[in-house]
Amino acid sequence: MAIHPIVVCGEPVLHAPAAPVESFDAQLGELVSDMRETLAASNGVGLAAPQIGVGRRIFVFDADDDEAGVHRSGVFVNPILVATRVPEGRPDPDDDSEGCLSVPGLDFPLKRAHRVTVNGRDEAGEPVSLTVEGWFARIMQHEFDHLQGTLYVDRLEGKWAKRWKKAKAELGYGEPGESWLPGTDPDPFGH
């Protein structure tokens, strides 16, 4: 197993749809193990393959699901996500805040659907399914977006989109070649 660098906004793999996984083999198992180790070192709650520079339809997650009162950890390969409607109105900066390991050090409020169901396969090719609500549904939508080539900051509206644009310019995000190595580089979220 190995910890991989996490690429930053501007890296082309983050802004293009990921390719489906076709072979459920030892190489896929090793990639998923590396993703889990990278996620643990990053102190994050989810990590998609494009975030480590691999344009494949895979994401891992590991976090408490407060709505259900359980800890959830797993992987989705070639996932399909079905969500309820995103509520109308402005996002609440306290309740709807979101961050991303590929947009290090920043967070912005974004409305998300309250409930989602994700269906896919695990690294062995076995079917997996998960229906979650609240914050955990946010995690699933965020990681699924990565597989579509969409970052959460691409969805920001109004003043939050303007603040992102300003922060992006100040931090120099948006150019290829930037990354950070969890467990070695300083944690951009201060964990």
Q: Check residue 56 and give its pLDDT.
A: 98
Give the position of tokens 């995103």. 86
The one-letter amino acid code at 143 reads E
Helix (H/G/I), strand (E/B), else coil: 12: helix
Q: Read off the pLDDT of each residue in 24-36 and give the average, rounded to a whole number.
A: 97
Is 142 annotated in a binding site? The answer is yes
- How many helices (H) and strands (E) the chain has is answered by 3, 9
37 Cβ neighbours under 8 A, 6+ residues apart: 1, 2, 3
**Predicted confidence (pLDDT) at residue 1 exceeds the cutoff of 80:** no
Each domain of the chain, given as residue ranges in start order, spans: 6-180
- Under 8 Å between Cβ of 31 and 58: yes
Is 15 annotated in a binding site? The answer is no
Largest CA distance in the chain: 46
The alpha helices in the chain, defined as continuous H runs, are 26-42, 134-148, 158-171
**Predicted confidence (pLDDT) at residue 26 exceeds the cutoff of 90:** yes
Paired strand residues for 120:
128
Q: Check residue 189 and give its pLDDT.
A: 83
Give CA angle at 139 (136, 143), nearest 5°: 150
Dump pLDDT digits (tens) for 94-138. Answer: 899 999 999 999 999 999 999 999 999 999 999 999 999 999 999
CA distances from 98 to 8, 22, 111, 123 (A): 16, 31, 9, 27
Is 191 annotated in a binding site? The answer is no
CATH 3.90.45.10 at 6-180, yes or no: yes
Q: Check residue 191 and give its pLDDT.
A: 73
Helix (H), strand (E) at residue 118: strand 115-121
Q: Which positions are catalytic? A: 143
